[in-house]
Amino acid sequence: MASRSPVTLVKALWQLGPRTLAQYGLYALQLRSGWLRTQTPAGGAVQPSGPIVRLMQPANPAALRKRLGPQAKAVFAEADEVLRGRVRLFGGSARPLKLKPGGTLKHWTAYTRALPDGSDIKPVWEVGRLAWATLLARAYWLSGQERYAEGFWRRVEQFLASNPPNMGPHWSSAQEVALRLIALSFSYSLVAEAKASTPQRLERLSQALATHADRIPPSLSYAQAQNNNHLLSEALGLWTAGLALPQHPKANAWRASGRKHFTEGIRRQVAADGVYSQHSANYQRLMLQLAAWATQLAAAEGQPLPSRTRELLRAACTWLFGLLDTESGQVANLGPNDGAYILPLSVLPFSDHRPALQAAAAALGLPGLKPGLWDEICMWLGLDGKRLPTRASKKAASPLRIEAGDGWAYLRAAQFNGRPGHADQLHLDLWYRGLNIAQDAGTFLYNAPAPWDNALAGTAVHNTLMLDSADQMTRAGRFLWLDFAQATVLEHSPRRAMAEHNGYRSRGLTHRRSVQASPQEWLVLDEVLGNVCGHRGRLHWLLPDWPWRISGDTLHLRSPKGRISIQVEGHALSLLRAGKRLHGRAAASPTAGWVSHTYASKQPAVALVVELEGDELQAITTRFVFPK
């Protein structure tokens, strides 16, 4: 934060708290002084030998094949793709599997969130999480074919040789190191008895697990300052190593430290109502995936998670169930979405949240979904015997969810208990028969040349009302918002919700939104309270890229399930798509009319924009009409 203005630094100290800044300051001092370099020498320290313990007991291969049925072919198809040197990152299309980063490797302290050539580091890190290795181990367990086990070992050995300890971008984030450690530990439980798993290879794996665990503690102050998924991941990495390498001299310290930081992290990061501090559906899923792994570590240790930890995790699982579209398996694409998805133990696609939710529910003793393909992950983690009665298919959970007929919506009204990811108060996510009608733009890229340097975090691309071309909060960096906008829920019933936020308090204005649902018609009323004279507004709705036509104040979309109409009563409409204007007078911008369903991927969308000023801001009605 050295480059921030004095005013920003004072705000950050006041709003983020001295604890966060002190921990970040400690990390910065350790980094710049060279202390971290001395604690994590190139090549790593020599590790003692010792056996690896299998921490998970998956269901037997026959039971898994029976559950998967014809879909078992998908497991082998993905594994064969990896054997051919191809990999799918962030749930996207296949691309070459690059086990060695380009350029000369430097000590990890020389790397930032971007590579030396300025390109985004996230795709490199994703390869280093070894999801592809898990795919090969999974295929071996299901088939018993040695080619998958041999392919696993050859590629893992190539990766480890190409990325020596503490050298290169794969060691620059302790979270990435921890997630790789977890993937290796789980994969070992599947290939341990293969012919390809020679004593020499098992010894090298034991050394690698210990070296990975050694990398985590020196920079833990950074994870503590972030107080997010970094801390949880790194804690579980240590906990995993401590249990997997019980004869290692540091095993007890790793295990105790990991368990402590994980349980304390959950206590600090999950609110009583289940909202995760990163305010992101994808990060909440990641947290629940980590939680499912943690429950199994606790079981292996013979000490269940503390009751308070389980209580918070159960609330978090229930909350994310409240964002689930049960027909598609997707959730509202709330907040930052970096494509995180660890241990890909399901034939269902990245966008389907049912596998992670089903596993978390089983691990935490909650009712889950009815049986389906989403049960596969439970069988891999040894959770398939913990099923409880099926939860209701529709349930108004802790999110501001409204339902009517074949539609449902989520009204974003957050009380931030951590750093906001997006300036998205009163965003409305609207779904109809498995289709995301009014949608969140997502993230696309964190690190890229402008305008794509986390540009989709701002208010302008969310389904809300923006006033005076200003974000609802003060943007103080690519990932930092200050002057948090806080929302208040005024009313909530199954078919109606009303909330307001104070993000424009410096202008003396309050934005209030109410949503009223019926089976075929949804009414959204936006009101600006206060003296609106001299102020301007911009109402934005991000819609699918479907055939369209406009008649007066109404946009008609031809969806796969019938015609949908969106009327903004009495106002001229503008349409933007893929950064260009299609209709009306609103100015185009490069980031308008795009949607990113997963990281590093974006597709055109239709942005419906209405520009308003003065008294027009007092009441704006949007009407969504679905087919009868």
CATH label of the domain that carries residue 607 = 2.70.98.70
- Out of 189, 217, 245, pick the residue that ends a domain: 217
pLDDT tens for residues 22-53? 888 899 999 999 999 999 999 999 999 899 99
Indicate the residue among 163, 196, 217 that finishes a domain: 217
The secondary structure of residue 507, as a DSSP letter, is G
In terms of domains, do 55 and 23 share one?
A: no
Kindly provide the b/e burial profile for residues 312-346, where b requires at least 16 CB atoms within 10 angstroms of the residue's own CB.
bbbbbbbbbbbbbbbebbbbbbbbbbbbbbbbbbb
Whether residues 56 and 195 share a domain: the answer is yes
Average pLDDT over the chain reads 94
Residue 4 pLDDT level (bands cut at 50, 70, 90) = low
For residue 322, is it within any domain? Answer: no
Any domain includes 264: no
Q: Are residues 542 and 428 in the same domain?
A: yes
In a domain, 142, yes or no: yes
62 with 29, same domain: the answer is no
End-to-end CA distance of the chain: 55
| Residue 331 DSSP one-character state | B
Q: Are 505 and 530 in contact (CB under 8 A)?
A: no
Asked if the model's pLDDT at residue 220 lies above 90, the reply is: yes
Given a cut of 60, is residue 397 above it in pLDDT? Answer: no
Q: Which residue has the higher pLDDT, 288 or 478?
A: 288
Same structural domain, 171 and 30:
no
Same domain for 432 and 559, yes or no, is yes
Q: Which of 197, 217, 237 is the last residue of a domain?
A: 217
The answer to whether the predicted template modeling score (pTM) of the entire model surpasses 0.85 is yes
Domain match, 425 and 534 both: yes
| Residue 421, burial from CB neighbour count under 10 angstroms (0-12, 13-18, 19+) | buried
Q: Are residues 5 and 143 in the same domain?
A: no
Residue type, 207: Q
E strands of 375-509, at which residues? Answer: 401-404, 407-411, 428-432, 435-438, 465-467, 474-475, 481-482, 487-493, 496-501
In a domain, residue 312? The reply is: no
Residue-wise pLDDT for 302-355, tens only, equals: 999 999 999 999 999 999 999 999 999 999 999 999 999 998 899 999 999 999
**Residue 445, CA distances (Å) to 95, 249, 393, 450, 454 in order:** 18, 41, 34, 10, 6
39 in any annotated domain: no
Work out the average pLDDT over 226-241.
96
CA 257 to the chain's CA centroid? 25
| Number of domains within the chain | 3
Q: Would you list the DSSP string of 254-286?
A: HHHHHHHHHHHHHHHHB-TTS-BTT--HHHHHH
Nearest to 616 by CA among 551, 515, 526, 553: 526
Q: Do 28 and 55 belong to one domain?
A: no
Residue 63 one-letter amino acid: A
- Paired with 542 in beta bridges are 607
- Evaluate whether 597 touches 542 at the Cβ level (below 8 Å): no
Domain that holds residue 499: 401-625
Do both 7 and 155 map to the same domain?
A: no
Q: Which pLDDT value is given to residue 377?
A: 95
Nearest to 428 by CA among 503, 517, 352: 517
Q: Are 425 and 464 in contact (CB under 8 A)?
A: yes
Question: Quick check: is 287 in a domain?
Answer: no
Query: 24 and 83: one domain?
Result: no
Q: Do 129 and 22 fall into the same domain?
A: no
Assess if residue 171 is contained within a domain.
yes
Q: What percent of the chain has pLDDT over 90?
A: 88
pLDDT at position 170 over 90:
yes
Is 164 domain-assigned? yes
Contact 88, 94 (CB under 8 A): yes
Burial category of 491 from C-beta neighbours within 10 Å (exposed 0-12, middle 13-18, buried 19 and up): exposed
